[in-house]
Amino acid sequence: MNITAFEEIKYELNQHKARLVAVSKTQSIEKIAALYHAGQRIFGENKVQEMCDKQSVLPNNIEWHLIGHLQRNKVKYIAPFVSMIHSVDSMKLLQEINKQALNNNRIIACLLQFHIAQEETKFGLNEAEASQLLQSPTFLEMKNIAICGVMGMATNTNNKALIKQEFMQLQSIFDSLKIQHFKNDSRFKEISMGMSSDYKIALQCGSTLVRIGSKLFGERNYE
Ligand SMILES: *Cc1c(COP(=O)(O)O)cnc(C)c1O
């Protein structure tokens, strides 16, 4: 774990009033515990099983954020404890989260994931799909989810201008959804964007939650 990088990142985020999601996927319990003891409380995972295994042995005051694609049949495993789900990309998934949150007597914070990158493989909604979802009676009846903002991933490229353009697009989607659907809802305030390679650009574009893994923990080992 890289404490110098952690301190540097915290300082930069502070200046922008943004928060850090430490992306701990594939990292050991020992490394996560070390960052926890250095003061970090929000950790992000992209796989349900791995998140549950880690949650069960690490301190209870960690906020676990699910940042990867989520299958509906796995929502029940994280519903008892997850703090935020960044990757909501369909009404059916939202319905299942609402159902499992109700079963656990909780309100689960969710972000709508948008497809802003040029790559075809990345999940996410477009603005029209999101507007349709947010206006539907099915959505308006859901009592156990809170839509807290938007999330997106930029194209994996060295082209900073392209990355900036994609982050500005997400910022503008946030603004228009805020005006159209969440004017009086103070919970809708998060823009989750930026990773190790592009978080400085994301901060310039208004990110409130950056998701950083390898810059904190070192390269991932997928064995
Ligand atoms: C892995 C991952 C990150 C962190 O990536 P790094 O390049 O290691 O900082 C951020 N967001 C999502 C959705 C991820 O899957």
pLDDT per residue over 26-38, tens digit each? 999 999 999 999 9
State residue 201's pLDDT score.
98
pLDDT per position as a tens digit, 100-132: 999 999 999 999 999 999 887 668 999 999 999
State residue 3's pLDDT score.
86
Question: Residue 191: pLDDT band by 50, 70, 90 thresholds?
Answer: very high
Identify the residue whose C-alpha is closest to ligand 1 atom 6: 213
Coil, strand or helix at 142: coil
- Ligand 1 centroid distance, CA of 137 (Å): 34
Q: What is the mean pLDDT of residues 59-83?
A: 98
CA distances from 186 to 146, 149, 179, 190, 210 (A): 11, 10, 12, 10, 20
Q: What is the mean pLDDT of residues 155-165?
A: 96
Please identify, by atom number, the ligand 1 atom nearest to the C-alpha of residue 197: 7
- Ligand 1 centroid distance, CA of 57 (Å): 23
Q: Which of 1, 23, 207 for mutating ligand 1's site (highest number of atoms within 8 Å of CB)? A: 23
CA dihedral sign of residues 33, 38, 39, 42 = negative
Tell me which of 1-10, 77-86, 120-129, 174-183 is least confident.
120-129
Residue in the structure block whose two tokens are 């609402």: 98
- Ligand 1 centroid distance, CA of 146 (Å): 23
One-letter identity of residue 106: R
Question: Residue 223: pLDDT band by 50, 70, 90 thresholds?
Answer: low
Question: Could you tell me what percent of the chain has a pLDDT over 70?
Answer: 98
Residues 194, 209: Cα–Cα separation, whole Å:
8
Give the pairing of strands 84-88 and 108-114: parallel
- Number of Cβ atoms within 10 Å of the Cβ of 200: 14
Confidence check: pLDDT of 62 > 80: yes
Give strand ranges (E) for 143-208.
Answer: 145-152, 190-192
